[in-house]
Amino acid sequence: MEPALTQIGLQMSQRTGVRAIMKDIIETLRAEAGREFINLSAGNPVILPEIEQLWRDCTAQLLASPEYGEVVCRYGSSQGYGPLIEAIARDFNQRYGLNLSDRHILITPGSQALYFYAANAFGGYAASGQLKQTVLPLSPDYTGYGGVSLAPEALVAYKPTLEKDEQAHRFKYRPDFSQLQITEQTGCIIFSRPCNPTGNVLSDEEAQKIAALAAPYDVPVLIDSAYAPPFPALNFTTMTPQFGSNLLHCLSLSKAGLPGERIGIAIGDPQLIEVLECFQTNACIHSPRYGQAIAAKAIASGQLARLAQTVIRPHYQHKFEVLETTLDEAMPDSIPWFLHRGEGAIFAWLWFENLPATDWDFYQELKKVGVIVVPGASFFPGLREDWPHKQQCIRISLTATPAEIAEGMKRLAAVARSVFQR
């Protein structure tokens, strides 16, 4: 059967960004089933034994408590499960000296849903017919933003400035405030901090500056904190979560070991929260409550924040160090390679200036030596202008073992050498 699809139907039934590449990766792995690949493409977090145990323990407590029936056998409020909202308010008030009430918090089925609600509640066509933009102030950024807007023309990203350390072969993106336009045409702003794919962390000042530029227009700024403290605390550099009247602090429990349970959390002004809550009621009524109930226990006991710092962060930070050291040893100095400063998240981002091939060709060459990465071009959603840099980067996941990462980087160095010698 071939149903006639609407414009939105067509658009939403496409695989966008990295999903399209994942299809190629899955097909490669299937077609060459006997071959051992070093897979450095995965976005799925590693199952860490201490974290799995935490979720098991919380589940056992839930099963043993009279709360169980109330949690799974009944509908609840669209805003989220009460004990989870309370646990978050208490934790954040204590930790950051805030004064949050339950009205400041919304639980969504994963944080991706949150960006979808926001991009369509604040971005898109206004009643006046004006197109309100969803602005990504620093491209590259999370590929998932590429599919969130029902009016794709509303998604607008800005090229960054590059801070390069030629000798050390390192670089860092910074927002280009000379280009960034936040006006009455802006509907909302989204950026990830720490950033997937680059591992960049916008400084507190940069985040505050973006919020200040948006404030006069009452534009909500969503700081995607999927990798931020207090959990999963995947920041390798100091950073302070930012709060403010036009800021929505958006968390995800996916990288804290619960991606299967789909838990996103928005913290911000009750008026913004209410808009998103109503959107959610229309979309799916509410998030599943089992995951919320175990998350309430892990947050209220302080265990999640503690394990994030003592287990999750060191696990990935160590792997970044392995990657960095191996590249420094194996890469020829004569090649213009630049590793993005590893400030957080679970990825490394590598840029080859003047790469004499595309990122896609480079990805194919790496497959030939048994290494799978993600070509970088899919991480520039909303950036329409031509920019050679878009085809010069790759994303390397830190979810493989340290030995695989080291071996993968050695093979990558050999491929880079041969590509630059062509």
Ligand X SMILES: Cc1ncc(COP(=O)(O)O)c(C=O)c1O
Applying CB under 6 A, the residues found at the interface with ligand X are 43, 110-112, 142, 144, 192, 196, 224, 226, 252, 254, 259, 264
Nearest approach in angstroms of CB 109 to ligand X is 8
Measured at the CA of 349, the angle between CA 16 and CA 233, to 5 degrees, comes to 90
3-state class (DSSP) for residue 170:
strand
Least CB distance from residue 365 to ligand X, whole Å?
26
Nearer to ligand X among residue 383 and residue 406 (C-beta): 383
> Which residue's CB is nearer to ligand X, number 55 or number 337?
55
Q: Which residues pair with 125 in a beta bridge?
A: 131
**Closer Cβ to ligand X, 197 or 335, answer by number:** 197
Residue nearer to ligand X on the CB measure, 376 or 413: 376
Q: Which is nearer to ligand X, 263 or 273 (CB)?
A: 263
CB of 390 to ligand X, least distance (A): 19
Q: Hey, how many other C-beta atoms are within 10 angstroms of the C-beta on 384?
A: 11
3-state secondary structure of 130: coil
Judge whether 197 and 395 are in contact, CB under 8 Å. yes
Q: Are 244 and 214 in contact (CB under 8 A)?
A: no
Q: Which residues pair with 393 in a beta bridge?
A: 351
Alpha-carbon distance of 288 to 273, in angstroms, equals 18
CB of 155 to ligand X, least distance (A): 15
- Between 146 and 337, whose beta carbon lies closer to ligand X? 146
Give the shortest CB-164-to-ligand X separation in angstroms: 24
In the complex, the smallest distance separating the C-beta of residue 115 from ligand X, rounded to whole angstroms, is 7
* Residues 6 or more apart in contact with residue 358 via CB below 8 angstroms: 375, 377, 391
CB of 31 to ligand X, least distance (A): 26
Alpha carbon distance 364, 388 (integer Å)? 18
Could you tell me the smallest distance in angstroms from the CB atom of residue 386 to ligand X? 25
Cβ of residue 148: shortest distance to ligand X, in angstroms?
Answer: 10
Would you say 122 or 142 has its CB closer to ligand X? 142
Q: Which is nearer to ligand X, 197 or 326 (CB)?
A: 197
Least distance to ligand X, CB of residue 304, Å: 15
Return the number of the residue (252 or 392) whose C-beta is nearest ligand X: 252
Closest approach, Cβ 227 to ligand X, in A, equals: 7
Cα–Cα distance between 257 and 264 in angstroms, integer? 13
DSSP string for 46-98:
P--HHHHHHHHHHHHHHHHSTHHHHHHSS---TT--HHHHHHHHHHHHHHH--
List C-alpha distances in Å: 410 to 296, 317, 335, 338, 370. Answer: 43, 19, 15, 16, 12
Measured from the CB atom, the residue of 196 and 391 that comes closer to ligand X is 196
Edge-to-edge strands of the sheet including 393-397?
A: 161-165, 170-174, 337-340, 347-352, 393-397, 374-375
d(CA 40, CA 347): 9
Q: Tokens 């994942």 map to which residue?
A: 22
Residue-by-residue DSSP string for 215-270: GGGT--EEEE-TT-TTTT--BSS-------TTEEEEEESGGGT-GGG--EEEES-H
| Identity of the residue, 110 or 326, whose beta carbon is nearer to ligand X in the bound complex | 110
